[in-house]
Amino acid sequence: MNNAELYQRSNTLQKRDALDCLEEYKKKLNWKNYETVIDIGCGDGSVTTGILRKFLPNDFKQLIGCDISDKMIDYANMKHTSDYVKFIVMDIAGNLPDDMKGVFNHAFSFYTLHWIKQQEVTFRNIFKLLAEGGDCLLVFLGHMPVFDVYRILARSHRWRYWLKDVDKFISPYHDSQDPEKEIRRMMCKIGFSSVEVQCRAKSFIYNGLDALKRAVKAVNPFNLPEDCLDEFLEDYVSVVRDMKLIENDDNVESSVKVNTNYNLITVYGVKRTTLIT
Ligand code: SAH
């Protein structure tokens, strides 16, 4: 998950979903002049500058990408920094630096919050980052077959040791019956207003097993020895095959299709602490 170069070549699914959600919410986002924006879990920075940046008004004050991984931030700073865009290391589930609190008019996060177990701490921190009247748009995974594949592999003799921490890497909402209600309740408790939570079925097709393997490798959270990786990816594909998610399996690679049906959660909320009269 730390390989920025590989990630930015294999995040087509993540980019498509970021773009769709921004398109859907762009009218709702309440832009004013000279505003400050944060992208939480910016990874390699390609979504921050290649997608999110295009939805910002021209006169924004600053766009900050933050990520827990210093490797991702080094890469993002090398490739995507400019006068008004910078990247910093920050754990959104940790203690926030004081100078980040109450600063941001808009907070975004794409494909990150499902990596984090401490959901309430994280949402509280997002609330703290926002200035009065600021809003957030957060996009992350609910149910996703990838997590079932991880679980199956974690039970196998071959991968049990390396995948012993599997639960750490499964979305907190993968098994939820009603993630919308759970998240809405948590956000209202924290103090967010105008809360909207949507959990929607989406699908994505990987053209060929190599595309699937590249995507799996790019987000692989397990600390596997380098020389086991190809074998791991082969076993990953076998599980996907057993789950009957591969079409045209016995055909040439170019016609093989891998279907992924998953739930994407989109959250919008506003920090309004003073009453409007
Ligand atoms: N937003 C990018 C990257 C998503 S990958 C995109 O849409 O393509 C998820 C990123 O979340 C990774 O770079 C990972 O390092 C980061 N991340 C995971 N836990 C985090 C945390 N607690 N705080 C900040 N970033 C985190």
pLDDT at 254: 75
CB of residue 50 inside a 6 A radius of ligand 1 = no
The answer to whether residue 45 sits within a structural domain is: yes
Dist. CA 68 → ligand 1 center (Å): 7
Quote the CA–CA distance of 209 and 258 in Å, as a whole number. Answer: 7
Closest CA to ligand 1's atom 23: 91
Residue type, 42: C
Dist. CA 43 → ligand 1 center (Å): 5
Quote the CA–CA distance of 75 and 117 in Å, as a whole number. Answer: 26
Quote the CA–CA distance of 20 and 13 in Å, as a whole number. Answer: 11
The answer to whether residue 277 sits within a structural domain is: no
CATH number for the domain spanning 78: value is 3.40.50.150
pLDDT at 30: 83
pLDDT of residue 277 exceeding 70, the answer is no
Query: Residue 275: pLDDT band by 50, 70, 90 thresholds?
Result: low
CB of residue 11 inside a 6 A radius of ligand 1 = yes
Q: How crowded is residue 175: how many other Cβ atoms within 10 Å of its Cβ? A: 11
Mean pLDDT of the chain, nearest integer: 94
CB of residue 249 inside a 6 A radius of ligand 1 = no
CA dihedral 258, 169, 121, 111 (to 10 degrees): -30
Closest CA to ligand 1's atom 3: 43
The answer to whether residue 130 sits within a structural domain is: yes
pLDDT at 255: 85
Query: Residue 3: pLDDT band by 50, 70, 90 thresholds?
Result: confident
If you average pLDDT over residues 234-240, what whole number do you get?
96
Range of the domain at 24: 4-271
Beta bridge partners of 267: 138, 197
Name the residue of 22, 49, 52, 68 to mutate for ligand 1: max ligand atoms within 8 A of Cβ.
68
104-110/36-40 β-pairing: parallel
pLDDT at 11: 86
Share of the chain above pLDDT 90, in %: 89
Query: Residue 134: pLDDT band by 50, 70, 90 thresholds?
Result: very high
pLDDT of residue 142 exceeding 70, the answer is yes
Closest CA to ligand 1's atom 20: 68
pLDDT tens per residue across span 49-98: 999 999 999 999 999 999 999 999 999 999 999 999 999 999 999 999 99
Query: Residue 1: pLDDT band by 50, 70, 90 thresholds?
Result: low
CB of residue 45 inside a 6 A radius of ligand 1 = no
Number of domains in the chain: 1
pLDDT of residue 169 exceeding 90, the answer is yes
The answer to whether residue 276 sits within a structural domain is: no
The answer to whether residue 86 sits within a structural domain is: yes
Closest CA to ligand 1's atom 21: 91
The answer to whether residue 220 sits within a structural domain is: yes
Question: Which residues, other chains included, contact 231 with Cβ-Cβ below 8 Å and sequence gap of 6+?
Answer: none
CB of residue 215 inside a 6 A radius of ligand 1 = no
Query: Residue 249: pLDDT band by 50, 70, 90 thresholds?
Result: confident
- DSSP assignment of 29-45, as one string? S---SS-EEEEET-TTS
If you average pLDDT over residues 186-199, what whole number do you get?
97
The answer to whether residue 55 sits within a structural domain is: yes
Dist. CA 161 → ligand 1 center (Å): 25
If you average pLDDT over residues 125-143, what whole number do you get?
97
If you average pLDDT over residues 172-182, what whole number do you get?
97
Quote the CA–CA distance of 241 and 74 in Å, as a whole number. Answer: 37
Q: Measured on CA atoms in the order 154, 157, 159, 161, is the torsion positive or negative? A: positive
pLDDT of residue 145 exceeding 90, the answer is yes
